[in-house]
């Protein structure tokens, strides 16, 4: 572990200890406190822990002949697109296309040796779920991918995957069936037989009859400490908290089994602050970001702020969703898509589909609350995915319906976006994963 991540862990640990001692008493706090793998540690591990090497970007897509959710034409994408990144300028050079079906979301293993993707597929003609997750080996010299294996998630429209900081488990969220899948990972990166499948509560209906007619799992992420795992259910407006048994790979409800967002918000993605106990939740349907104090000893949340991703005088409103194409964003309306936090923890970014912009926020270092610092055009239509490179110098935005990746410089002190400084033609770009390998 490098000095920067050790410092981040120390700050996070001290803040959590302070809370425990204040809220529970010194003796109880000392007993309840447990060692942490912080979000900052996980990021440092997945970004190479300071190891120098060539930089690569992996881009997930919705593939042809399908039309992406909210898309306007059949996709021309073939799978996962691999680019070499210029670390000085942020430009991308194409290297490889790995054929795959709807690899719409990606995750790199903490040791940087493997890439995992979802295969976002719906039910077959008989109604059987076809969602999958797939594993790829990353060539340590070239950054190119080689297929390892794939496994069914026993769910439909699998839209998100992540790797536990230990590298031992892969998690997946099945949007269509409202379920969460857990897979052990082999030493060679292979996805082993599923160890658990957890259904979101069946009565967890939200008020929007089109988008919240049932549970819709949209994300599964490990919290700081590595013990709690959280499932984001857009259909139920709920953050589900689980405890992971590291031996069996099975989930059980946490001490505080869920937290709610405002009715009809449609929570989509969540990020944790790397150094301090704060969490940020992006709500797709209401175009808002919620700020929570996070209590890792019980895996619980207390909301402290909610603010819009749109300007106060915005003409963009909540969509009236089309039952035949629920991902469509009608003209004059807006939904959010992706939420990312800067590696330093000082800035937060959210994409708006409809307004077609990136909302930028500064993070108050004392309270964790957000201060809006403006909006920048995404430079295209329906910016579904975005991500920051590990150095925090560049932001990559995928404009799904424009078949372009826009690259922005990030001001190191202000966190504001400058550009775009590069435009890369790439079919239906949806998600970005970064890696540094030796060679």
Find the CATH number of the domain harbouring 162. 2.130.10.10
User: Which residues make beta-bridge pairs with 348?
Assistant: 341, 361
Task: Give the H/E segment covering residue 15.
Answer: helix 3-24
To 5 degrees, how large is the angle CA 140–CA 226–CA 437?
Answer: 10
Tokens of 119: 């295969």
Task: List all residues 6 or more positions away from 366 whose beta carbon is below 8 Å from its beta carbon.
Answer: none
* 54, pLDDT greater than 90: no
Q: Is residue 157 part of a domain?
A: yes
Put simply, whether the predicted model's pTM sits higher than 0.75 gets the answer yes
Q: Is residue 39, in this structure, part of any structural domain at all?
A: yes
Q: How far apart are CA 146 and CA 114, in angstroms?
A: 9
Tokens of 322: 């089309």
pLDDT at residue number 10: 42
pLDDT value at residue 304: 98
Instruction: Domain of residue 298: give its range.
Output: 3-320+333-437
Would you say residue 181 lies in a domain?
Answer: yes
312-371 pLDDT, tens digit per residue, is 999 999 999 998 888 899 999 999 999 999 999 999 999 999 999 999 999 999 999 999
Structural domains in the chain (count): 1
Write down the pLDDT at residue 436: 82
pLDDT at 431 over 50: yes
Q: What is the per-residue pLDDT for 4?
A: 36
Residue 27 in any domain: the answer is yes
pLDDT value at position 205? 83
The answer to the question of residue 282 being in a domain is yes
Decide if pLDDT at 22 tops 80.
Answer: no
């Amino acid at each position: 572990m490098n000095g920067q991540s050790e410092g981040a862990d120390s700050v996070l640990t001290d803040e959590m200890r302070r809370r425990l001692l204040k809220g529970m008493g010194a003796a109880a706090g000392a007993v309840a406190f447990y060692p942490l793998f912080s979000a900052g540690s996980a990021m440092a591990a997945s970004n190479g822990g300071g190891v120098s090497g060539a930089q690569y970007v992996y881009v997930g897509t919705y593939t042809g002949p399908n039309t992406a959710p909210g898309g306007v034409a059949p996709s021309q994408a073939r799978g996962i697109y691999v680019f070499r990144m210029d670390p000085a300028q942020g430009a991308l050079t194409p290297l490889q296309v790995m054929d795959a079906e709807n690899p719409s979301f990606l995750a790199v293993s903490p040791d940087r040796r493997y890439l995992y993707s979802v295969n976002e597929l719906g039910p077959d003609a008989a109604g059987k779920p076809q969602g999958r997750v797939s594993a790829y080996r990353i060539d340590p010299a070239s950054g190119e991918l080689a297929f390892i294996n794939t496994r069914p998630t026993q769910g439909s429209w699998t839209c998100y995957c992540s790797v536990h900081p230990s590298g031992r488990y892969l998690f997946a969220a099945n949007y269509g069936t409202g379920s969460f899948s857990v897979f052990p990972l082999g030493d060679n990166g292979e996805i082993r037989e599923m160890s658990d499948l957890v259904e979101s509560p069946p009565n967890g209906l939200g008020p929007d009859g089109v988008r919240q007619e049932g549970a819709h799992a949209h994300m599964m992420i490990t919290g700081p400490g590595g013990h709690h795992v959280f499932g984001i259910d857009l259909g139920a407006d709920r953050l589900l908290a689980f405890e992971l048994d590291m031996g069996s790979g099975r989930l059980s409800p946490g001490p505080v089994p869920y937290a709610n967002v405002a009715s009809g918000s449609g929570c989509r993605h969540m990020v944790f602050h790397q150094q301090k106990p704060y969490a940020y939740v992006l709500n797709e349907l209401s175009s808002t970001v919620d700020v929570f104090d996070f209590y890792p000893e019980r895996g619980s949340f207390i909301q402290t702020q909610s603010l819009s991703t749109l300007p106060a005088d915005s003409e963009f409103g909540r969509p009236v969703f089309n039952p035949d194409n629920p991902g469509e964003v009608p003209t004059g309306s807006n939904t959010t898509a992706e939420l990312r936090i800067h590696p330093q923890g000082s800035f937060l970014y959210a994409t708006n589909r409809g307004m077609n912009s990136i909302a930028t926020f500064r993070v108050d270092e004392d309270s964790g609350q957000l201060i809006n610092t403006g909006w920048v055009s995404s430079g295209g239509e329906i910016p579904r995915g975005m991500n920051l490179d590990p150095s925090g110098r560049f932001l990559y935005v995928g404009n799904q319906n424009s078949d372009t990746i826009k690259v922005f410089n990030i001001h190191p002190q202000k966190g504001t976006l400058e550009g775009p400084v590069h435009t890369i033609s790439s079919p239906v770009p949806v998600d970005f994963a970064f890696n540094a390998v030796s060679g």
